[in-house]
Each structure stands twice: as structure tokens, then as C-alpha cells.
């Protein structure tokens, strides 16, 4: 195994863990950095499969709470309602993701200019929404109306365009639908579990013939790095957004998208 490839995988894994749950688009960052590093993965599978590390980070941080909800479901209607809400929010991504999978991976993932554009546009939208003055109707991510969960699920589908950000789309959707900033971020964590697990399983199935033992080593390095950093981010993000809002991430997106365009202009 080429050491240089493993180092690139490590860098990309760290970026995945840092950005997966921030509203800045982990996939957009991975595709741009991978482009400029000259990193190639079969069918762009690496970028999806290392998300398993971020999934496990959520389970590590929220495992006890999720276990309580699962155990309470047989007798607690609120627990059952929340579980149903997450599944309802996940449903639009299942349908659209399966139907558009090949176009997303073969066209959108291969167009860095799309990533730069959506990073900037999404940053502007996030900045505008963050500055709007809402009176939150919902402060508990487990207590949204079922119709709100479904609407957030449709917002999440926007993130199938790389550079949009899954967490960013769900957070903006939740804010516009009446959630406060903290619970909007928290629900993006919960919705990530079925969404990312489904994407992982489906992408692994679709590209199973393209992967080799060497690919497993590269993916393993990226997975471990992603997991470690994602745990830190998940533990700190809610307090950060409660104090500072989402404007810092909006400006981050705009800067990265602009630098990406500059890099494409200079280096191709």
C-alpha cells in the first residue's frame, strides 16, 4: 500500500469527521480536497463509506439516550412518535436517493464547480436564515409534529447535490419550520443515523465489485480518523451554536467555495 495514499486517506478522514455534522458539507469538502490532492476512489465510494465513522460517533455520544427511547417505545407513545418521526423524515431520501443515485455519483460528484457553487449559495442562505428573528415553537428535537419531520426530510434531499450539506439543509429546514437552533442541530444528528447508514449500505452494494483489499485499508484509515474527530465535534457543536449561531459556518462555506473556484481557475 502506497504510504502517500494512506496519508491522503487520513487527511480526508479528519476532514470528514470535522465537517460531517457542521452545516458546511462534508462531501463538498472531501470532493474538493480529494480533487486537489489527486485522490481517486472507485465510484467515489471512499467519500460515502468513511461516513460510517461519523455514524458510530453519534451512537457513542447518544447511545444511552437512544437506548432509553427504544426501550420505552412499547409503552411510551412519545417515544414511538419520535421513532416514527425519524423514519418519516428519512423516507424522502430513500426514494430520491435510489432513483437519482447514478446521476449524483457519476455527474454531480465529478463536477467540482457544482460543489463550489452550492457551498457559496448555501452559505448565503444559512447566513440569511441565521440572522432572521424567529420565535421558536419547538425546543425539543424529539417532540416535533410528524408533518414537521416529513418537511425536514424533504429539505434533507437538497443535500444530494454535493456541497449543499445534509446537516445544513436539515438545520435550515428545521429553523424555518419553527425549531430553535439547538434542537435543529440535534435533530440533524438523529436523522443522520438512518440516512448515512442507508447511504453506506446502498453504496457498498452498488460498488462491491469495484473494491479491493487495498481499498479496505484506505477506507479503514479514513473511518478511524472520521470517528475520532466526529465524536469531539458532536460533543461540542450544540453548545457552540447555542452561543454563536450558524453565521461562522456560513462564512466558512463562502470562503471555501471562493477558494475552490480560485483553485480550479489556477490549477484546473
- Count of CA atoms in the C-beta half-sphere (13 A) of 134: 20
Q: What confidence score (pLDDT) does residue 208 get?
A: 76
Per the prediction, the chain carries an average pLDDT of 90
Q: What confidence score (pLDDT) does residue 81 get?
A: 94
Q: What confidence score (pLDDT) does residue 162 get?
A: 87
Overall number of domains in the chain:
1
Q: What confidence score (pLDDT) does residue 244 get?
A: 92
User: What is the rounded distance in angstroms from the CA atom of residue 36 to the CA atom of residue 33?
Assistant: 5
Q: What confidence score (pLDDT) does residue 43 get?
A: 65
Q: What confidence score (pLDDT) does residue 93 get?
A: 92
User: What is the rounded distance in angstroms from the CA atom of residue 21 to the CA atom of residue 193?
Assistant: 11
| Angle of helix 181-206 versus helix 213-244 axis, rounded to 10 | 170
Q: What confidence score (pLDDT) does residue 124 get?
A: 96
User: What is the rounded distance in angstroms from the CA atom of residue 204 to the CA atom of residue 24?
Assistant: 25
Span 230-247, pLDDT tens digits? 999 999 999 999 899 999
Number of CB atoms found within 10 A of residue 216's CB: 12
Q: Please state whether the predicted TM-score (pTM) of the whole model is above 0.85.
A: yes
Q: Please, is 204 exposed, middle or buried when counting C-beta atoms within 10 Å of its C-beta (0-12, 13-18, 19+)?
A: middle
Domain that holds residue 164: 3-267
**Are 165 and 23 contacting, i.e. CB atoms less than 8 angstroms apart?**
yes
Which residue numbers in the chain have pLDDT < 50? none
CA separation, residue 201 to residues 8, 32, 59, 136, 148 (Å): 24, 24, 17, 36, 27
Q: What confidence score (pLDDT) does residue 1 get?
A: 58
Amino acid at each position: 500500500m502506497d504510504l502517500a495514499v494512506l496519508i491522503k486517506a487520513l487527511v480526508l478522514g479528519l476532514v470528514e469527521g470535522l465537517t460531517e455534522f457542521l452545516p458546511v458539507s462534508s462531501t463538498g469538502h472531501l470532493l474538493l480536497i480529494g480533487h486537489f490532492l489527486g485522490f481517486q476512489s472507485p465510484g467515489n465510494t471512499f467519500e460515502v463509506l468513511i461516513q460510517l465513522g461519523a455514524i458510530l460517533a453519534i451512537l457513542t455520544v447518544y447511545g444511552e439516550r437512544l437506548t432509553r427511547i427504544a426501550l420505552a417505545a412499547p409503552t411510551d407513545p412519545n417515544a414511538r412518535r419520535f421513532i416514527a418521526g425519524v423514519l418519516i423524515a428519512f423516507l424522502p431520501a430513500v426514494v430520491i436517493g435510489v432513483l437519482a443515485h447514478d446521476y449524483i455519483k457519476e455527474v454531480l460528484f465529478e463536477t467540482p464547480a457544482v460543489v463550489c457553487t452550492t457551498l457559496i449559495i448555501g452559505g448565503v442562505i444559512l447566513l440569511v436564515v441565521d440572522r432572521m428573528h424567529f420565535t421558536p415553537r419547538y425546543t425539543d428535537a424529539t417532540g416535533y409534529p410528524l408533518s414537521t419531520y416529513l418537511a425536514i426530510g424533504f429539505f434533507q434531499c437538497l443535500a444530494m447535490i454535493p456541497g449543499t450539506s445534509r446537516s445544513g439543509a436539515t438545520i435550515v429546514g428545521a429553523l424555518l419550520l419553527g425549531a430553535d437552533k439547538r434542537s435543529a442541530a440535534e435533530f440533524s444528528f438523529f436523522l443522520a443515523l438512518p440516512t448515512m447508514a442507508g447511504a453506506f449500505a446502498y453504496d457498498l452494494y452498488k460498488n462491491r465489485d469495484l473494491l479491493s483489499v487495498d481499498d479496505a485499508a484506505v477506507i479503514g484509515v479514513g473511518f478511524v480518523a472520521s470517528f475520532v474527530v466526529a465524536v469531539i465535534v458532536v460533543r461540542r457543536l450544540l453548545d457552540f451554536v447555542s452561543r454563536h449561531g450558524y453565521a461562522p459556518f456560513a462564512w466558512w462555506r463562502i470562503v471555501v467555495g471562493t477558494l475552490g473556484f480560485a483553485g480550479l481557475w489556477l490549477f484546473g
